[in-house]
Amino acid sequence: MTVPLLTLNNGVQLPTIGLGVFQTPPDETTDAVEAALRAGYRHIDTAAAYGNEQQVGEGIRRSGVPRDEVLIETKVWISDYGYDATLHAFEKSAGKLGVDTIDLFILHQALPSRFDLTIEAYKALETLFAEGKVRAIGVSNFMPEHLEKLLAETTVVPAVNQIELHPYFQQKELQAANAAHGILTQAWSPIGGITHYRDSDKSALEDPALLAIAETHGKSAAQVMLRWGIQEGRSVIPKSTKATRIAENFDVFDFELTPDQLAAIDDLDTGTRGGPEPEFITLDNFGKPIPEAGE
């Protein structure tokens, strides 16, 4: 199965579905990445803050899939924001991944209380892009006001904005803001995984409406959520450490949700975020240091 592609605003092509590796322990990451590439995935989403970039690189090399057929996305953590620090963050991530070029390099968060540092970090991404060291640049967890401030002071429109997005939290205004600027919405926790570690929250995987839709197609709730994201034009990056689920999550190209089913899923939005509030990200509460490559 050749994975369908989305075209970013600079012409780079991004697979509609990729493997996420947040909370994938380093000693399970190589196997997960290799399993994904064998199943047909060609996009891996990692981050400096996940501590497993080295194992992502190993998994890609071990799979035997040529480097230029795999889109590697990684993220700069806030402790590395600032022009020179972010240029160096590229060296750290590329060194751990074992690559010369990063395909999609994005800012992991806005730093609302230090937006000056956020801008400097993004300007470093623009330099890396101009030098051809990264093929596309973008952001994550930016709210509409963060996008406006960024666009006012920089030149290259982000290719993606990676945001929390699953049936229980859909951020429709933010999706519209992304679209208005030509920024692709990339959905993190696309099967609602963010609720898995918040015990009080219900899991979208057990949602009766999603299970009923899934039954009509002989699919799982996870597959329905991923199909919903893909049919609505988003990039989705589900995470699993299990080869069977990695394959299951990729097996979403042989059925189609009806307009009524898409609308029913659109109606499941609770407006309640599972992850951290972007406005409250600060260096004091989230600013852990990122090790050098080889440390």
Query: For ligand NDP, which residue of 16, 63, 162, 171 counts as binding (CB under 6 A)?
Result: 162
The single residue among 16, 30, 93, 140 that binds ligand NDP, judged by CB under 6 A, is 140
The yes or no reply on residue 222 touching ligand NDP (CB under 6 A) is: yes
**Using the rule CB under 6 A, which residue among 89, 165, 191, 281 binds ligand NDP?**
191
For every residue of the chain, DSSP letters joined together read: -PPPEEE-TTS-EEESB-EE-TT--HHHHHHHHHHHHHHT--EEE--GGGT-HHHHHHHHHHHT--GGGSEEEEEE-GGG-SHHHHHHHHHHHHHHHT-S-EEEEEES---GGGHHHHHHHHHHHHHHHHTTSEEEEEEES--HHHHHHHHHH-SSPPSEEEEE-BTTB--HHHHHHHHHTTPEEEEESTT-GGGGG-TTSPPGGG-HHHHHHHHHHT--HHHHHHHHHHHTT-EE--B-S-HHHHHHHH--SS----HHHHHHHHTT-----SS--GGG--HHHH-PPPPPTT-
Nearer to ligand NDP, 260 or 273 (CB): 273
Complex with ligand NDP: residue 43 or 123, whichever CB lies closer? 43
Is residue 59 within the footprint of ligand NDP (CB under 6 A)? no
User: Which residues are within 8 A (CB) of 169 and not within 5 positions of it... i.e. 6 or more apart?
Assistant: 269, 270, 271, 272, 273, 274
Binding to ligand NDP in span 13-52, by CB under 6 A? 20-22, 45
Does residue number 290 form part of the binding site for ligand NDP (CB under 6 A)? no
Going residue by residue from 91 to 130, which x/- string records binding to ligand NDP, judged by CB under 6 A? -----------------x----------------------
**Nearer residue to ligand NDP within complex by CB, 82 or 138:** 138
CB of 62 to ligand NDP, least distance (A): 19
- 193 is a contact residue toward ligand NDP (CB under 6 A): yes
What string marks each residue from 236 to 275 as x (binds ligand NDP by CB under 6 A) or -?
A: -xxxxxx--x--xx-------------------------x
Return the residue nearest ligand NDP (CB atom): 193
Q: Are 184 and 8 in contact (CB under 8 A)?
A: yes
* Least Cβ distance, residue 53 to ligand NDP (angstroms): 12
Shortest Cβ distance from residue 282 to ligand NDP (Å)? 15
Applying CB under 6 A, which residues contact ligand NDP?
20-22, 45, 108, 140-141, 162, 188-194, 196, 205, 220, 222, 237-242, 245, 248-249, 275
